[in-house]
Chain A
Amino acid sequence: MTGKHKTRDDDQTIRRVLDGDVNAFELLVRKYQNHTARIVGNHVPHARVSEVVQTVFINAFRSLKTYRGDRPFQNWLSRISVRCCYDFWRDEYRCRETPVSSLGKESHDLLEHLGTGRAEEIFEAQSNHAEAVQILDWALDQLSPEDRMVVTLTALEEKSVAEAAELLGWTSVNVKVRAHRARKRLKKIIEQAN
């Protein structure tokens, strides 16, 4: 099915929902829940993905009236997903502390290789994947919710400044400045952990 057909189908489904056929919303949930879960899974712990995905769809339903149809529904939903992840971290970060000692010995060994560029070889061993992701999550946990979101989108997912600005609802200048500072902070955190 082409992109245009998909958009037209979505527009028809949205029209039905707005006309009172609430059950038609299930078509959108089934169609986009994996897409939404992938976005959310890149930002929040996997144990909490389902909970955040549910919030995304509830928020989407609540603001469906504001969807103008000038861009694909999937893009509109992606923006809601990223903002829900940002809200998730703002709630989570209140009164939280993750010490360096929470990392295992293997994680500390891996940390030493992060800046050498040889880490890709190290991660080839399947057993190290979980440890590596744990290090990244630990380092991201040290950042503020804003820095965490912007560094994930720009540095880790390689989205452009314009794309990140659109997803976060920030100005491009704000994204550029914050992304630069957040990258420096992330580097410092990993250096200090060694």
Chain B
Amino acid sequence: MKFQTGNLMQVLRVIHRLRPEPELDPWLTGSIMAAVRGLGIPFDRQFLRLALPVSAVACAAAAVLFAVSSTSLHGSDSLLMNYAMGDPNGLLTLANFGM
């Protein structure tokens, strides 16, 4: 049987519109998110997220140590030791060495 292409396409369009809305799996969002979490965030971004704050804190600490040690007669290691011993002024050290 020969059909007119225009007529046929019009009818097929009507049929196509008759397709019911698909019913989604109720757990679809959960399963997508589980798969996505498994993939994780891209490694380069994850690395930057961790590396940047850590290096910023380390730089700041190094700068503070440098500033303190350069204005003090004692080295930064003995200053740290004094603080650790609860003697920020280093009086115990002076007394121990008879200074």
Q: Which residues of A does B touch, CB under 8 Å?
A: 17-20, 22-23, 25-26, 29-30, 33-34, 37-38, 40-42, 46, 49-50, 53-54, 57-58, 61-62, 65, 112, 114-117, 119-120, 123, 129, 132-133, 135-136, 139, 152, 155-158, 183-184, 186-187, 190-191, 194
Once bound together, how far apart are the Cα atoms of A20 and B15, in whole Å? 45
Mask of B17-55 contacts with A, CB within 8 angstroms, 1/0: 011111111001101110111011110011001000000
Query: B1 near A19 (CB under 8 angstroms)?
Result: no
Once bound together, how far apart are the Cα atoms of A114 and B11, in whole Å? 6
Interface positions, chain B 46-74, Cβ under 8 Å from A, are 46, 49
Query: A187 near B8 (CB under 8 angstroms)?
Result: yes
Once bound together, how far apart are the Cα atoms of A158 and B23, in whole Å? 24
Which one of A19, A46, A117, A157 contacts B23 once the chains associate, using CB atoms below 8 Å? A46
Known: A20-B45, A22-B37, A57-B36. A191 touches B3 (CB 8 A): yes
Known: A41-B21, A54-B35, A191-B1. A119 touches B29 (CB 8 A): no
Query: B49 near A20 (CB under 8 angstroms)?
Result: yes
- Across-interface contacts of A190 in B (CB, < 8 A): 3, 8
Helix, strand, loop or mixed for chain B's interface? Answer: helix
- Across-interface contacts of B5 in A (CB, < 8 A): 183-184, 187
Query: A194 near B46 (CB under 8 angstroms)?
Result: no
A–B pairs, 16, beta carbons within 8 Å: A20-B41, A22-B40, A37-B24, A40-B22, A42-B19, A58-B32, A115-B4, A117-B4, A129-B18, A132-B18, A136-B16, A139-B12, A156-B16, A183-B5, A186-B12, A191-B3
Q: Which residues of B does A touch, CB under 8 Å?
A: 1-5, 7-16, 18-25, 28-29, 31-33, 35-37, 39-42, 45-46, 49
